[in-house]
C-alpha cells in the first residue's frame, strides 16, 4: 500500500522535541525524512536523560522514528555544498534552531529560493515577531507565555506547568499541518513558502477556551462553572480552575477505592445534564431528580461542591475500573486516571499501534508511542530511529557523489 506523503522529501534540520515531533509525523505518513546532524554529538537529545550508557536515549529514539540520519558540518564550505544539493533535491526544509541560526549558516530564504523555488521552509520558533522574537525557548517557557500556566493549578497555589508537552509536541503538530497545507497549495502555485509555528501561539491556540473565559469574565464579572463560584472571588484574569471542567458540563476528579495508597485511584466524573437522573439513581439520591435545587443545570451550579462530595462518597466505594463499568452502563461520561504503567500495558492501545514495541540495535527492545493519527489508506509502520550518521554514505550516493568523493568528504571532516 502506498503512503499518503510518499515521494515527499524532507530536509530535517530539527533537534530536541518540537521540530522532531513534526518530522516524525511526516515520516509516519510516508515522507522520506533526512535528518541532518553534526558529527560527534548529533541531536543533543541523543545523549540526554540516558538510561543506558553510550546508547541513544529514549528521548531521542521516541522522537525520531522512521528517519534517516546524515552527518554534515554545514559551517564548512564542502558541507555547505552538500547541503545545497540536498536543498535542490528536497521539498521541505524543517528547522527549529534558535532565531537567526539558519541565516548565520548562510541558509537564508533567498539562498534557498535561488536553489529551489518550490521548497517549503518550515520553522518552529519560541515567539513570533515582536519583543521576544530573538529568545530561545523550551517547553515550559512556552506553556507560561501561551496562557497555559496561569490557568493551570489550584486557586490557592502558584501557576503550574502541565505534563503534556503542548509547547513542543503541540507546536510540532501545528507545524506539520502547516507543511501539509503548503504542499497542497504548491500543487497550484508551483511555489514554496515559509511556514512558521511559534510555540507561544501554538500553546495559546490550545488554550483558546481560556481566552473565551477571559472575555466572559470581563463582561459578567463571574463564571458559574469555575470553583471560585459561588463562595470565592474572581479577579481581573481567568483564574486557575483546579480540576473543574470549566466548560458547559461540570466535572471533577474524585477519589476511588484505594486512593489512600494508590496515587492514581481517581476517576474524572462529568455531571452531564442529559444523564443527571441516571447519576442520581446510581449514587442513591433519587430525590435530587425533581428537587428544584438540583433539577436543572443552572440550579446545580450553585451546589457543585456538595454534589461532587456526594458523588465521591459513592466513587470511594468502587475502584476506578468498577466505577467506569457501572457508569458506562448509563452513558455517564467518566474516565479513569491512568498511570503511565497502566497505559504502557493497555491492550487496546497496543492493538491499534498507538503503543508499540520497537527493536533497536544498541538499545534492544523498547516501548514507544506510535502514530496517534490513523489513515485507513496509509497505515503507519513504526521503525527505529537512525544511529548518528547511519545513512550518510547512502544519502551522499543518492545525491550523485561517487565513492571517491564520499571518501574525500569523510577525510575533510565535513560528514
- Catalytic residues, by residue number, are 168
Judged by CB under 6 A, does residue 178 bind ligand CAO?
Answer: no
DSSP β-ladder status, 32-37 and 67-71 = parallel
DSSP β-ladder status, 364-369 and 355-360 = antiparallel
Question: Between 85 and 310, whose beta carbon lies closer to ligand CAO?
Answer: 85
Residue 270: Cβ within 10 Å count: 18
Question: Between 60 and 308, whose beta carbon lies closer to ligand CAO?
Answer: 60
CA distances 2 to 28, 179, 385, Å, are: 12, 20, 21
243, 227 Cβ separation under 8 angstroms: no
Question: Between 139 and 201, whose beta carbon lies closer to ligand CAO?
Answer: 139
Stretch that binds ligand CAO, among 96-104, 145-153, 181-189, 243-251 (CB under 6 A): 96-104
CA distances 49 to 16, 52, 56, 140, 363, Å, are: 12, 9, 9, 17, 14
Judged by CB under 6 A, does residue 72 bind ligand CAO?
Answer: yes
Question: Between 41 and 357, whose beta carbon lies closer to ligand CAO?
Answer: 41
Stretch that binds ligand CAO, among 86-94, 98-106, 179-187, 314-322 (CB under 6 A): 98-106
Beta strands in 256-354 (DSSP E): 266-270, 334-336
Question: Between 11 and 307, whose beta carbon lies closer to ligand CAO?
Answer: 11
363, 55 Cβ separation under 8 angstroms: yes
CA distances 54 to 44, 62, 68, Å, are: 13, 17, 20
Judged by CB under 6 A, does residue 413 bind ligand CAO?
Answer: no
Contacts (CB under 6 A) with ligand CAO, residues 8-27: 16-19
Judged by CB under 6 A, does residue 104 bind ligand CAO?
Answer: yes
Q: Which of 56, 73, 84, 201 binds ligand CAO (CB under 6 A)?
A: 73
Q: In the complex, what is the shortest distance from the CB of residue 84 to ligand CAO, in angstroms, rounded to a whole number?
A: 14
DSSP letters spanning 156-184: TS-----SS-TTTHHHHHHHHHHHHHHHH
Residue from 125, 137, 138 nearest 96 by CA: 125
Q: Which of 109, 113, 115, 138 binds ligand CAO (CB under 6 A)?
A: 138
Judged by CB under 6 A, does residue 124 bind ligand CAO?
Answer: yes
Q: In the complex, what is the shortest distance from the CB of residue 258 to ligand CAO, in angstroms, rounded to a whole number?
A: 36
- Cβ contacts of residue 50 below 8 Å, gap of 6+? 57
Judged by CB under 6 A, does residue 105 bind ligand CAO?
Answer: yes
**Interface contacts to ligand CAO, rule CB under 6 A:** 16-19, 36, 38, 72-75, 96-98, 101, 104-105, 124-126, 136-139, 168
Amino acid at each position: 500500500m502506498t503512503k499518503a506523503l510518499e515521494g515527499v522529501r524532507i530536509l530535517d534540520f530539527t533537534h530536541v522535541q518540537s521540530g522532531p515531533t513534526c518530522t516524525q509525523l511526516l515520516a509516519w505518513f510516508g515522507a522520506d525524512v533526512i535528518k541532518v546532524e553534526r558529527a560527534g554529538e548529533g541531536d543533543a537529545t541523543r545523549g540526554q536523560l540516558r538510561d543506558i550508557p553510550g546508547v541513544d536515549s529514549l528521548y531521542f529514539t521516541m522522537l525520531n522514528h522512521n528517519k534517516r540520519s546524515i552527518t554534515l558540518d554545514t559551517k564548512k564550505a564542502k558541507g555547505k555544498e552538500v547541503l545545497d544539493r540536498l536543498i535542490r533535491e528536497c521539498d521541505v526544509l524543517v528547522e527549529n534552531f534558535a532565531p537567526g541560526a539558519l541565516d548565520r549558516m548562510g541558509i537564508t530564504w533567498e539562498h534557498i529560493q535561488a536553489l529551489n523555488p518550490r521548497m517549503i521552509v518550515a520553522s518552529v520558533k519560541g515567539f513570533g515577531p515582536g519583543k521576544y522574537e530573538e529568545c530561545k525557548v523550551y517547553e515550559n517557557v512556552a506553556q507560561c507565555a501561551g496562557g497555559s500556566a496561569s490557568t493551570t493549578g489550584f486557586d490557592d497555589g502558584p501557576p503550574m506547568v502541565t505534563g503534556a508537552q503542548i509547547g513542543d509536541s503541540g507546536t510540532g503538530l501545528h507545524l506539520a499541518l502547516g507543511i501539509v497545507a503548503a504542499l497542497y497549495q504548491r500543487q497550484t502555485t508551483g511555489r514554496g513558502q515559509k511556514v512558521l509555528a511559534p510555540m507561544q501561539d501554538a500553546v495559546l491556540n490550545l488554550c483558546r477556551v481560556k481566552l473565551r473565559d477571559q472575555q466572559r469574565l470581563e463582561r459578567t464579572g463571574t463564571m458559574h462553572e469555575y470553583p471560585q463560584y459561588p463562595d470565592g472571588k474572581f479577579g481581573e484574569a481567568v483564574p486557575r480552575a483546579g480540576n473543574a471542567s470549566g466548560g458547559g458540563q461540570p466535572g471533577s476528579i474524585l477519589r476511588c477505592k484505594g486512593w489512600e495508597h494508590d496515587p492514581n485511584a481517581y476517576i474524572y466524573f462529568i455531571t452531564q445534564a442529559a444523564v443527571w437522573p441516571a447519576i442520581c439513581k446510581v449514587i442513591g439520591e433519587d430525590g435530587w431528580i425533581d428537587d428544584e435545587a438540583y433539577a436543572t443545570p443552572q440550579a446545580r451550579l450553585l451546589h457543585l461542591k456538595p454534589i461532587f462530595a456526594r458523588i465521591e462518597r459513592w466513587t470511594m466505594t468502587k475502584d476506578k475500573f468498577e466505577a467506569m463499568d457501572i457508569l458506562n452502563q448509563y452513558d455517564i461520561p467518566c474516565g479513569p486516571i491512568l498511570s503511565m504503567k497502566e497505559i504502557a500495558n493497555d491492550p487496546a492501545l497496543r492493538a491499534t499501534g498507538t503503543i508499540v514495541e520497537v527493536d533497536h540495535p544498541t538499545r534492544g527492545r523498547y516501548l514507544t508511542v506510535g502514530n496517534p493519527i490513523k489513515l485507513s489508506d496509509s497505515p503507519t509502520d513504526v521503525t527505529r530511529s537512525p544511529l548518528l550518521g547511519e545513512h550518510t554514505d547512502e544519502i551522499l550516493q543518492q545525491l550523485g557523489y561517487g565513492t571517491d568523493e564520499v571518501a574525500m568528504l569523510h577525510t575533510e571532516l565535513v560528514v
